[in-house]
Amino acid sequence: MSIIDIQCADLLSQKVDAIVCPAHKHLIRGRGLSAQIFDRAGEPLEAECTKLPSCAVGEARLTLAHNLPARYIIHTVTPQWSSGDQWGVQALVLLRCCYQSALELALDQGLESIAFPALGAGTNRVPQCLSARIGLEVLEGHKREFRRLLVCLNNVSNQHEWEQAHAELLKRMAKQAQKERRTSETLSS
């Protein structure tokens, strides 16, 4: 059974089938982690991206990883966080779509090991705790379909936040499973 591996690690050095890149909608070099990925992958990545259609927020596209140790890059456009105002819920729905789209694309391509950053939590300012909760809910729902799901975080504080969110999620899932068993036992009696 697969587990979700949460580490303080460099996403760009992972030897996995694919890393996930928080992308610009035109699949050009963005800011933050996107810029680092484009810099390391080099000009062949830029050339490949020019041949792809633009990518809406929540969607995903696949390219070769070129000069990176991973085989592929899954590009997904993350939503811009607007401080939890009236559009905050929409941003969270779109963030869930980012994780979901990346995993669905990986499954379509037969990829088995994927490394994620904290999507949206960088230059798009989604709070780390929200990225963790949403990301982990989606990853937990798909972990049996992959050999390895890795979350690479850029500092120990973020790693701790993701580990805490994961422990809380697993506790909620266990309570829900217990409740469903009791309901099933009651109905079958």
Give the model confidence (pLDDT) of 133-179 as tens digits.
Answer: 999 999 999 999 999 999 999 999 999 999 999 999 999 989 888 88
| pLDDT beyond 70 at 76 | yes
pLDDT of amino acid 17: 97
Residues of 38-61 as b/e, b for ≥16 C-beta within 10 angstroms? beebeeebeebbeeeeebebbbbb
Mean pLDDT of 82-100: 80
Comparison of pLDDT for 30 and 113, the residue scoring more: 113
Per-residue pLDDT, averaged over 107-112, amounts to: 97
φ, ψ dihedrals at 54, nearest 5°: -60, 165
Report pLDDT for 108.
97
Q: Is the pTM of this model over 0.95?
A: no
CATH of the domain at 118: 3.40.220.10
Q: For residues 116 and 19, what is the distance between their CA atoms, to the nearest angstrom?
A: 6
Do residues 150 and 7 make contact, with C-beta atoms less than 8 angstroms apart?
Answer: yes
User: pLDDT tens digits for 4-23?
Assistant: 999 999 999 999 999 999 99
Edge-to-edge strand list for the sheet holding 113-116: 4-8, 148-153, 113-116, 18-22, 72-76, 60-64
Is the per-residue pLDDT at 183 higher than 80? Answer: no
3-state secondary structure 68-95: CCCCEEEEEECCCCCCCCCCHHHHHHHH
110: left (phi over 0), alpha (psi -120 to 50) or beta: left
Work out the percent of the chain whose per-residue pLDDT is above 90.
70
**Number of domains the chain contains:** 1
Across 31-41, average pLDDT: 93
Tokens 């933050």 belong to 32
CA 166, 58, 53, 82 torsion-angle sign: negative
More confident: 53 or 83: 53
**Which class for 156: exposed (0-12), middle (13-18), buried (19 or more C-beta within 10 A)?**
exposed
Structural domain of residue 56, as residue ranges? 4-188
Q: How far apart are CA 117 and CA 6, in angstroms?
A: 10
Mean pLDDT, the chain, rounded, equals: 90
The whole-number pLDDT of residue 84 equals 61
What pLDDT sits at residue 115?
97
**Alpha carbon of residue 38 to chain centroid:** 18
pLDDT of 176 reads 87
Q: What is the pLDDT of residue 189?
A: 63
Q: Which candidate, 104, 142, 115, places its Cα nearest to that of 17?
A: 115
Between 88-108 and 128-142, two packed helices, what is the crossing angle to 10 degrees? 40
